[in-house]
Structure 1
Amino acid sequence: MAETKKYVRIKKASVDGVWYADKIGNVYEVDRENCVSILTKRGIRGLSSVLREDAELIVTEKRPAKVGERVLITVAAPIGKQAYETGDVFVAESLYDPFAKDIRVLGIPDFIDYNEYEVIVDNELKNGEADGMESTYVRKQSEGLDRVAKSLGYVELAKSSLKQNGFIGEVHTFDLLTECAERLREQAQTHKEKIERGYPEFSPVHKSAQARRDEIVEQAKADVERLRENNIRLRTFNISLEVNRKDRSVEAIAKRPKSNRAFYGIAKAAPSDCFNVHIGKAIALRRALGLGVPDEYLNAPQPAEVRVGDVVYGKYSEAYYQLWCEDEIGDVSYEVKIKEIVDGKYRYVGGGYDFIDDADLTIIDDSREGVVGE
C-alpha cells in the first residue's frame, strides 16, 4: 500500500502576528492535527501550528502518477532554470518512457523526477464555516476548468503549428497531442459537471465555529483540572485562580509550599473577544507554570449561538426608547444575562426580554458557570 501523507497550503492569516502571515501559498508537511489547528513541520524550525480555517489540507500518496492525476511538488529539484518549486501542483500529461515513475507536465520542457512529487488523492477544504464551503468548492472547480482550458489551448496551438509548418508527417507527435486534447476535454467536462452539481453531499462534515469553541472550552476545563491535580499530587505548587469579570481577566498564582516564592500568569480578553473564564484559567495557569499555551486557547472562534447563562450586550432601538422613556435619549445599551430561552423570547435575569427574531445581541461572556450541564 502506498504511503499516505498530509500537507497544508497556507491560504490566509486570520490572526495578526501569526508566524505564517508572510508565508501565504507555502506548503508544509503535517505532523498531527486536531479539530482547531494543524501542527506542521517547518524544517529546522521544528513544529508550528496553523489554524485550520487558514489552511488547505492536501492528502497525498507516494507512488508513480498516472496520466491525468494531479501531483504535488514536495522536493523541487528542477533541471537548469525550469520554472517550478516546492508546493506547485501539476497534472501528469504523459509518462517519461525511460523512467516509468517520472512524468512530463505541460509547460515544463523536461521530466519531473519521481523523487520530486507525490500524487494528490484528496483535498480537504479548510475555509471556516460550512456556509462558505459550497462556494469554495465551486470556485476551485472553476479554477480547475480555467487551467484545463488554457492547457487545451496550448495543445491545439501546437497541433496547428505542426500543420502550418509541414510536420504533419510526425504522426506519433500529432497523435500524442490529439490524445492529450481529448483527455483535457474530458477533464473540462468533469469540472463543468461538478460546478453544475455544486458541493457534493458526501463531502466531509466540517464543524461550525460554535462546535469548535465548545470543544476548546471543554479542553480548557480538563486542562486546568489536570494541572491542579498534578500539583497537589506532586506538591510542587499551591495554585489559586482569581477572576476579575469587570476587567475580563484571570490571574493564576502558583506558590511554592512553605515558601514566599510565587509565579504569576495573567489572561485578559481583548475588547472585541468574548470572555470565557475556563479558557482564561487555562491560559493564566499555563503562563504561571511556565508552560506553553496552545494556539487554540489564544485563537478560539467567537461564539455564534446565544445560550442560557450567556451575558449579552444589546441596544434598544431609538423608537423603543422614545416610547418608554421620558428623558432625553442617552445610553441605550444594556448588558444582561440570559435566564431562559422560551416562547420565542430571550428572557433575562432580573426581568425583561427580547424577541429572538428581533434581537441584535452580542455575546460578551459565555462562561456559563453555575448552569446545569456546564
Structure 2
Amino acid sequence: MTETKKYVRIKKAKSSDLAYSVYIGRVFTVIGENENEYILHSVNVLKEDAEVIVTENRKAAVGERVLLTAPTNTKGKYRVGDVFTVKESGETGVRVAEIEFMTLWHKEYEVIVENEEADEMKIDLNAMGYDELMAHGEAVMEAIKKRMFQEGYRSAKQAQRKLARINAEKSAQARHDEIVEQAKADVEELSSTFRPGCPSLIYPPSAFDPSRQTVEFIVNSKKRTVVVLITYVSSITKIKNVAFRGIAKAAPSDCFNVHIGRAIALRRALGLAVPDEYLNAPQPTEVRVGDVVRGKYEESYYRYEDRLSDDSYEVQIKEIAEGRYHYVEGSYDFIDSADLTIIDNSREEVGE
C-alpha cells in the first residue's frame, strides 16, 4: 500500500497576533496533532483555520491533481503548495494543464488523494444560525482583505524580483555583445595597420617588407584555444618566418567566444596590453541560434538510461521556435524546462 503524507494549507487566522497569520495560503507538513491543533515544524495551527491535504508519493495519472512539494525545475516561478492537474504522464515527469509546456519531474510532486478530514472541513452555510452566519461572514471578509493584501504584496515582490533579474540578464548580455563587437573591430584594425617591424637582428630593417606580413589564426574549439601566428617573408632570403606568436585559452567555467579569443591572442603577440573587459567579459545569458550549449539530464533519466558517468550533453542550437530549442543533432528541449549553459557563442557558421 502506498504511504500517505499529510499537509495543511493555512486558510485563515482569527487574529493577527497568531504566529501563523503571516503564513496564510502557505502549505506545511504535519508532524503531529492534538485535539485542537495541527503541529507543524515551526508553528502550531488551529484545525479550524487549516485545510488538510493528503498525498501519496507515486507517479501521477492523467486527470489527477498534484501538489508541488520539491520544486527544482520551475525556475522560481512556482512554490511549494501550488496545485496542478496532470494532462500527460511520462516516464520521467508529467505535463500539467494549467501552464503550457510546463513539465514537473516525478520527484517534484506528490499526488493529492481524497480524504475524509478535508471533506469534514466543508462549511454548511445553510445549517448556520443568523448570528453565527454574520460572525462567519465578518471573519471571511477579514480573511479576504488580508489575503488580498498579502497576495498583492507577494505579487509585487515577485514582479520586482523578476524585473530586476531580467534587467540584470539584459545588462550582462548587452555588455557581452558590446565586448564581442569591440573585439572584432580590434582584430580587424590591428591585423591590417599594426606593423611591429623586423623582430630579428639577423636581417637589417631594410630587409623587412611590411606588406609581406601575414596574420594567421588557429582556432581549436574543442580545446577552447586561439593561437595567432604573425609571419613575414624576408625580402633578402624570401624565407617565411614566424615573427610573433600569441595564445588565448578560455577558462573551463567561461563561455568560449572566438572573437574575444582572437583579440586577446593578437594583443599578446604584439606585446600590447589586453583590456580587462576581454579577460572578464560577462557570461552570455540569452541562448541564440548557433550557440553550443551544455544541457543537464534529469537524474531519473540518466540513471534509467545507465548514464551514471555522463549526466550532461552538448548540442548546438539550430532553431528556437514553438516553445522549444531545436538542436542540430535532431533532438529538442522545451524552453520552460531546459537547463542549458552556453559554452560557445562564436556562431561563425551563422554569419556572426
TM over 0.5: no
State TM-score, norm by structure 1: 0.42
